[in-house]
Amino acid sequence: MPLIKRYHNRKLYDTASRSYVTLEQIARMVRRGEDVRVVDHESGSDITSLVFMQILLEEQKRVGELFPQVVLLRLLRSGEDTLDALRERLLAAFDPQGFLHHAVRRRIRQGVEQGEISPPEAEKFLRMWFGESSLEEFPAEPTSSSGKDTLEQLQTQLRALEDELQRLQNSLQKS
């Protein structure tokens, strides 16, 4: 699996080939069937989905009508709930097993947060259904640094999404 690191200057570095790559080159890797993973060099957070979205936005600029304007307009106006529902439907259609795992984990996490089940019970259930690798999501005692790391990752992703949204709006205004 190719590992790409994104640096602060927005350059993308392929650790396997030890060279910088472009979004277009990453798109070619994906089209060849490679499972590309992109991480932020500073935080280590997985930004693969964000980079894939950037690739789609670049294709939108090049092709012009990859996503009809009316669809983009409705997505922007409808807000987060519609985007969440769209994400769930796409996940269910393209990765039913991943959708099921995501839904079960989300429900268990809600149960832990609301005090319906204890973290050890959640761990036991997840071990039964998904194996040991799923247990990381439910630490017995949350650490303060993990919350800070998550917040920083979300802020980084939010800034990148805002940048892309601004670029998309600018390109639509020029059209």
From residue 66, how far is each of 20, 37, 49, 69, 95 by CA, in Å? 27, 24, 18, 9, 22
pLDDT number for residue 22: 94
Pick the closest to residue 60 from 81, 78, 75 (CA basis). 75
| Domain spans of the chain, in order of start | 1-64, 68-141
Tell me the average pLDDT across 59-72.
77
pLDDT number for residue 119: 87
pLDDT number for residue 133: 44
Give the integer Cα–Cα distance in Å for 170 and 120: 50
The stretches of the chain forming alpha helices (DSSP H) are: 23-31, 48-63, 69-78, 80-94, 96-113, 119-130, 144-174
Q: What is the pLDDT of residues 69-117, one digit of tens each?
A: 787 788 788 877 777 777 777 777 777 777 777 788 888 888 888 888 8
- Across 50-54, 67-71, 102-106, 166-170, the highest mean pLDDT is recorded for 50-54
Q: What is the pLDDT of residues 121-151, one digit of tens each?
A: 888 888 877 775 454 554 443 444 455 566 6
